[in-house]
């Protein structure tokens, strides 16, 4: 069965520092991969997605992610975070029956 | 933002009463989903629809039913609300079953 693991439940980082949020998945077949962001008391917003092609995917708000098939990872990165990036970030993997499998989420905490 | 609205946005109800949440879309997307979000559990799929009158169960469907009589509306009904159904409920839509777009959510409190 497919699964998604977000390795850190919380990631504290200083403002203007780089950040990496880790996501690993298990799947024996080709997948689509997604990162969503949820700001406090809001719905989920698509940050970026990998469907095919270049393994480096750029998203909104300066985020990017790299698909690594051999390591079955899709880590999210940003070179310099801002206080407005405080949110919870969810990694998701598609299933063959039009559903997504979700990670448990990583809370990004920006320290001033 | 995708045209998705959820109503009501907040609701307080009592144990044992039926509750219906509505998801409305203006995107004419084929797929619609209902999730619940609880601390420590992330997002869990309740039911989804792959077309008008075509629905299927997700991982936490017990105590919930859905209906989709037209493309734009997907209703979630809690047949007899329990305190364990206190949660935030999100609707999502997808054109091709690949990328999902989310509504703003409904906060439900069952007393």
Contact A102 B101 (CB under 8 A): no
pLDDT score for B2 = 63
Mean pLDDT of chain B: 95
Contact A102 B42 (CB under 8 A): yes
| Residue A73 near residue A23, CB atoms below 8 Å | yes
What SS3 state is found at B84?
A: helix
Contact A43 B94 (CB under 8 A): no
Q: How far is B108 from chain A (nearest CA, A)?
A: 13
Q: What is the mean pLDDT of residues B42-65?
A: 94
Contact B99 A34 (CB under 8 A): yes
Other beta carbons within 10 angstroms of residue B53's beta carbon come to: 9
Which portions of chain A are predicted below pLDDT 50?
A: none
pLDDT score for A52 = 86
Q: What is the pLDDT of residues A34-60, one digit of tens each?
A: 999 999 989 999 999 998 888 899 999
Residue B1 clears pLDDT 70, i.e. is over it? no
Q: What is the pLDDT of residues B13-43, one digit of tens each?
A: 999 999 999 999 999 999 999 999 998 788 9
Task: In whole angstroms, give the CA distance from residue B38 to residue B1.
Answer: 24
Question: Which residues on chain B place their C-beta less than 8 Å from a C-beta of chain A?
Answer: 31, 33, 40-45, 48, 50, 58, 90, 92, 94, 97-105
Phi, psi of B53 (to 5 degrees): 65, 10
pLDDT score for B74 = 98
For the residues of A21-88, what is the DSSP string, one character each?
A: E-EEEE-SS---EEEEEE-TTS-EEEEEEE-SS-SEEE-GGG-EEEEETTTTEEEEEESS--GGG-EE
pLDDT score for A47 = 97
């Amino acid at each position: 069965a497919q699964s998604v693991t977000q390795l850190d439940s919380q990631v504290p980082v200083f403002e203007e520092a780089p950040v990496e949020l880790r996501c690993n998945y298990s799947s024996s077949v080709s997948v689509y991969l997604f990162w969503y962001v949820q700001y406090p008391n809001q719905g989920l917003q698509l940050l970026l997605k990998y469907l095919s092609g270049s393994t480096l995917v750029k998203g909104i708000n300066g985020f990017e992610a790299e698909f690594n098939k051999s390591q079955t990872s899709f880590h999210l990165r940003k070179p310099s975070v801002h206080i407005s990036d405080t949110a919870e970030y969810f990694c998701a993997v598609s299933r063959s029956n039009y559903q997504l499998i979700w990670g448990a989420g990583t809370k990004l905490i920006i320290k001033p | 933002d995708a045209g998705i609205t959820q109503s009501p946005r907040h609701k307080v109800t009592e144990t044992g009463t039926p509750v219906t949440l509505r998801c409305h879309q203006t995107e004419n997307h084929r797929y619609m989903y209902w999730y619940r979000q609880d601390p420590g559990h992330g997002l869990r799929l309740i039911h989804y629809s792959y077309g008008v009158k075509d629905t299927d169960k997700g991982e936490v469907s017990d105590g919930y039913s859905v209906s989709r009589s037209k493309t734009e509306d997907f209703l979630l009904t809690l047949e007899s609300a329990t305190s364990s159904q206190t949660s935030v409920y999100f609707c999502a839509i997808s054109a091709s079953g690949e990328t999902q777009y989310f509504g703003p959510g409904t906060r439900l409190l069952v007393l």
